Amino acid sequence: MITQITIRSTLTIVKIFCVSFIASASGDKNGNAFFDGVDSLSRHGNHELAIDTLNDFISEELNTDSIDYKIVSWAYLKQGQLNQTIGRSFESIVSLENALKYAYLSEDSIEISNAHYQLGSSYTILGRYEEALESYARALEIDRALESWMGVAMDLNSIGRIYEVWGKFDQALKFLIESLAISEEIGNQNLIALRYASIGSVYKSKSEYSTALEWLYKSLELEKNNNNKLRQGYRFDQIGEIYTLQGNFELANYYLNKALSIFNEKNIPTSQSITLNHLGLNSLKNNDYNNAITFYNKSLSIAKEINHSNMLIKNKKGLSELYKAIGDFKRALDFYQQYVEQKDSAFTEKASQELMFFKAKFETEKKEKELAVLNQEKLERELALNKSKQQKAFMIGLSIILITLLITIYNRYMLKKQAQIKLSAINTQLKETNKTKDLFFNIMAHDLKNPIYAFRNISLAVHDNYKDLDRNEIVYYLKELKSSSGKLCTFLDDLLKWASSQIGRIKPTVQPFKIRPIIDEVVHLHQTMLSEKDIALLVDIPETHEAMADKNMIKTVLRNIISNAIKSTENKGQIKVLSKNKSDTLTLQICDNGKGMSRETIKNLFSITSKLSGFNTGSETVSGLGLILSDEFIRKNNGSIEVESSIGKGSIFSIHLPSR
């Protein structure tokens, strides 16, 4: 615990330092300190802040009298890379096109090459391969002219990967082998390992699996020598995938699990989802359906968390094929429909992003035109000022004074108005808070009164008459004392849990659990009450039904509602506890044949601001705080409670919880 607090504190200090550092570095015209600060923010996950800081920097630089085109190009390039990192490929292209524009204005060949290469990367992610190839080709031409061999190797590799996507494997290998030769010549072991892997990928696409494995094992050996554990994970995954294609399921399982172990250690959600999907496919092809279901569902869960559209599509399709293979055609059809809907959704999302891209591009061009118009108007005003300098200076000075005065008056008026609005809102909030406090104390007083009075009266009766009491009377009074103290303890327990929930101390620990054992445990706790009133409690819940929630919170909720159902039910009555599992929702129903409730009572049942503290069933009073706590706990677990009741016909409490 201490370690976690220390890490969290350290990260906060680093973030504050980076922001302060950037603010002080914004005046650094060489840009080195500024861009170091931006990189520091990015490394600590503050990508949005880094992008906003770059926007401010670019705006300031473009408004100076002498624009440094090279530094503006750097800023746009960084912005493009950051947008690409957080998945904003279209925004990345807008930034990188601006980087390219200012790189040409600066006449810096290295920056022009970098901008073309990064543009190619963004176009590749979006599947716009023709544009990507054009960008990589231009970067290659410049890097050859500059004799930047590392850049040439990277350009050739990227071009080869595009030809692989197109299925032109011979051309892909031509570029990749040339890239490998250059990487070996300059002796860069990391580049060599990557080239081996790229070549292996092409042979896999050609279905030449043995050759693909040779290249991938060579890449893996280098990655081990380079001590690059994450890249070892990528190679293990590629090797395992090929063994699946070859039908060697045992070896595939071995390498895929090694890959998954690394991605779990490094916490790379995208790679975890991909490898789990590969394990699911391997198990499916090996007819190991139980493991296949587990792997596909884990992969699908991660894909949902990170909103990885492609993996959502693959897992839903895989689950459809899996359930079809085991003869569960209903689930197979359900996942197939989800797969089709996901594909349609991905297409719609891509179209929407395309629209956003063109809109952003249009807005950028519009701003540049407006800036050009403003600069032209500024030039014209300066020429006009030269013709009648003294007269214009006087008029401008007077105008500035008047405008300043008007702005000052307006600002004071707005500040006063805002202060009045805030004060009014605070007063309203205080009134509501006081009202809620008074009502809450009424609830506590009402719920505490009966058990405390009973406690006092029984104690007085025993104290005043203990000499005259026989054994049966003493047993009776002790039983009543036990009942009153039990009610008081239950109320105080609910009060403490509710208070902890309100100040945020109770946070749900969500995990899957079977609901039947929880129901049985709660029923056992109330067996004495049931026996005393001769109430039949019937439980109809399959052993397989599960909920995805905090087990202890749900136990508290069920204890309160079943206890209230017992109190609401007359002697020799009946209570039923049922469950239904539909889609991703588990519904629990607690049904009694007691006196029931009016609509007004149901409306205020879970409200702390109502005058209702509990409702009387004739012989016993139901706790209002217990119901308020139950509603709070269910909502914290992404569930809901519904109540159906009418006078004389009993009540049905329906609890809806996630089941997966």
What integer is the mean pLDDT of 173-193? Answer: 90
Q: What is the pLDDT of residue 411?
A: 86
CA atoms within 13 A on the CB side of 519: 21
pLDDT(46) > 60: yes
Q: Which residues contact 542 (CB under 8 A, 6 or more apart)?
A: 516, 579, 581
Burial class (CB in 10 A: 0-12, 13-18, 19+), 44: middle
Return the amino acid letter for 121.
Answer: S
Confidence tier at 374 by pLDDT (50, 70, 90): very low
Domain boundaries, given as residue ranges, for the chain? 13-147, 165-227, 229-368, 391-506, 507-658
In CATH, 507-658 is 3.30.565.10:
yes
Please, are residues 575 and 565 in contact by the beta-carbon 8 Å criterion? yes
Q: Kindly report the CATH class assigned to 391-506.
A: mainly alpha
Confidence tier at 413 by pLDDT (50, 70, 90): confident
Q: Kindly report the CATH class assigned to 165-227.
A: mainly alpha
Confidence tier at 588 by pLDDT (50, 70, 90): very high
Q: How far, CA to CA in Å, does 635 sit from each of 512, 553, 606, 639, 641?
A: 17, 11, 12, 5, 8
For residue range 603-634, what is the model confidence (pLDDT) as tens digits?
888 876 654 444 544 455 555 677 887 888 89
Task: Quote the DSSP letter at residue 30.
Answer: T
Q: What's the pTM? A: 0.45
What integer is the mean pLDDT of 293-301? Answer: 93
Q: What is the pLDDT of residue 30?
A: 55
DSSP output for 482-506: HHHHHHHHHHHHHHHHHHHHHTT--
In CATH, 13-147 is 3.30.160.20:
no
pLDDT(118) > 80: yes
For residue range 308-360, what is the model confidence (pLDDT) as tens digits?
777 888 888 989 899 999 999 899 889 888 888 877 664 444 444 444 444 44
Pairing of strands 585-592, 574-582: antiparallel
Task: Quote the DSSP letter at residue 535.
Answer: -
Whether 507-658 and 165-227 are alike in CATH topology: the answer is no
Q: Is the dihedral of CA 251, 257, 263, 266 positive or negative?
A: negative
CATH number (1.25.40.80, 3.40.50.300, 1.25.40.10, 3.60.10.10) of 229-368 reads 1.25.40.10
Q: What is the pLDDT of residue 60?
A: 85
pLDDT(4) > 70: no
Helix axes 69-85, 47-62, angle to 10 degrees: 160
pLDDT(660) > 60: yes
Structure tokens at 133: 């190839």
Helix (H) or strand (E) holding 536: strand 536-540
Report the range of poorest mean pLDDT among 56-65, 174-183, 304-313: 304-313
Q: Which residues contact 459 (CB under 8 A, 6 or more apart)?
A: 481
